[in-house]
Homo-oligomer: A and B are copies of this chain.
């Protein structure tokens, strides 16, 4: 069953999340996803994806709560921003990887897919390792590209941790031990972005597991 989206605007008050999850549990619904969005002028945007219940009845029940300002039923985020490719790295290369990935995602999305390319420019072993480790905590993150010239040590440890959580990692061909750990190593940054999008696209005939450990 496809989860249903619920966009709930609430008063920005303590305990609201617990009250909301209580109403959802009382309706025998299951929270698949939750994200906290913008707070503006005392109103907070909360977004849920729910399955296992009559979502229309749940939405009507939520609208009766005094802390709920509004409740609507948008399509799930998977249908809007879709699968996320995360790009981490620095300098000229990170922009080139992002550009290749965005152009490839455009070609898939125009055929009805939804792939986002989300980029954080970063330098420094500790900084990059911290960001790599945070990728599994991001909603809808499906793959990671490391776009730099020198990455190893703690970053390679972090790469192994996210791979163990089912997130494949593509690396530019660079100095350092990350290239020995990555699922795929690509020399050209545009190509790295393109192939990373192909790896998470449903409309591409590219299976990363069949080229694992290769270097292009």
B contact residues around A110 at 8 Å (CB): 90, 121, 123
The total of chain A residues at the interface (CB under 8 A) is 67
In the complex, per-residue mask of A101-123: 1 if CB is within 8 Å of any chain B CB, else 0: 01101100110001111111111
Q: How many copies does the complex hold?
A: 2
User: Is there an interface contact between B102 and A119, defined as CB atoms closer than 8 Å?
Assistant: yes
User: Is there an interface contact between A137 and B18, defined as CB atoms closer than 8 Å?
Assistant: no
Tell me which of B21, B84, B94, B105 contacts A21 (CB under 8 A). B21
Q: How far is the CB of A18 from chain B (nearest CB, A)?
A: 4
Q: How far is the CA of A38 from the CA of B143 in the complex (A)?
A: 11
User: Is there an interface contact between B166 and A40, defined as CB atoms closer than 8 Å?
Assistant: yes
Q: How far is the CB of A27 from chain B (nearest CB, A)?
A: 11
13 A-B residue pairings within 8 Å (CB atoms): A7-B137, A18-B18, A18-B25, A31-B36, A36-B139, A38-B141, A38-B165, A38-B167, A77-B134, A84-B118, A91-B106, A98-B102, A103-B121
